[in-house]
Copies of this chain bind each other. A is one copy, B any other.
């Protein structure tokens, strides 16, 4: 860590601050430039808060040299983590497609879609029981009942189930689920992350709408620090000034995350653009950029879905897409799970 002092800093204050660092076991390298005067701190600086150092009135700025995350850091764990959930693998060359409706709406609907996406080659069934909706007047999901219907669909099809949680108090309800999803709006719901770190079901963590990759990794770090090492990261589009797509898929996030962490990284092309016709090109781009999987919305009757119709594929469109996905995954050197 680098601490840069103000030109006007009193030497006495700098000395006092340096003593504090030394008392914490850090080694100090003083460097005096013509235009700037700074120190380098050597040792374990992960516990230091740059903001608190900036609060000293002799300090102009503070810069981190090493990453603030540990357990998710590829530097300390160079091999790809392979996450197993419900018997399926993600990462380390295993490419998994998760497919299903935005919301679970009825037993017939979810089971029908599960059978269909399973036949097309999906590795997981996705479906929302607890739904985060911008409007209090919109459909809020079937909640606990939806979770039961998902489990019944799994019994019929053998497809493991991934579904979203919104409240730490609901964890017991998710006992039968194969992978618990944390949605973009809850990426920094730290109470939820801590609770998920204390249980063992694998977690699918979606990137927040306006969160940096470092913040994303720090949220994953919460779960690993709690003891749960089965985390899959999902890029699903970030918020930018561009209005023609609902979000902007940050495709660079895929190679960047894979360079920074050993965790698997998947992409959600459905939420990224919010447009069903754009799912295919974005899915292809995700595979080409090195993703370990895809999460795709499929609905038997998109215009009458209870949510997110505009971005859902029909089962027939999904089946067609899966043929292309299979070929592209092979072309880019991974194996369909």
Contacts and interface: CB of A to CB of B under 8 A. Distances in A.
Interface of A: 2, 4, 7, 17, 29, 31-36, 38, 40, 42-44, 46-47, 49, 51-56, 63, 65-66, 68, 75, 130, 132-138, 140, 166-169, 185-186, 188-191, 193-194, 208-210, 212-215, 218, 221-222, 225-226, 238-245, 248-256, 259, 272-274, 276-278, 281-282, 284-290, 302-305, 307-312, 327-328, 331-332
Copies in the complex: 4
Contact of A63 (B2, B7, B213, B253): B2
Nearest to A60: B65
Contacts of A278: 252, 255-256
Contacts of A226: 136
30 contacts: A2-B65, A29-B40, A32-B42, A33-B43, A34-B44, A36-B65, A47-B137, A52-B304, A52-B309, A52-B310, A55-B312, A134-B215, A134-B218, A137-B225, A166-B189, A168-B169, A210-B239, A212-B241, A212-B244, A213-B244, A239-B241, A245-B252, A251-B285, A252-B278, A255-B278, A259-B277, A281-B288, A281-B289, A282-B289, A331-B331
Contacts of A189: 166, 185-186, 189
A188 B132 contact: yes
B256 A252 contact: no
Nearest 7 CB-CB pairings of A with B: A210-B210, A55-B309, A54-B310, A284-B288, A288-B288, A285-B285, A55-B302
A321 to B, nearest CB: 13
A188 B31 contact: no
A138 B49 contact: yes
A255 B276 CA distance: 12
Contacts of A277: 255, 259
A112 to B, nearest CB: 18
B167 A310 contact: no
Nearest to A193: B136
Nearest to A273: B252
A191 B167 contact: yes
A256 B240 contact: no
A244 B215 CA distance: 11
Contacts of A311: 51
A38 B41 CA distance: 11
Contacts of A285: 251, 285-286, 288-289
A199 to B, nearest CB: 16
A62 B185 CA distance: 25
Nearest to A55: B309
Centre residue among A68, A250, A281 by max chain B CB count within 10 A: A281
A144 to B, nearest CB: 13
B75 A133 contact: no
A168 to B, nearest CB: 6
A136 B33 contact: no
Given A188-B132, A218-B134, A289-B285, A248 B244 contact: no
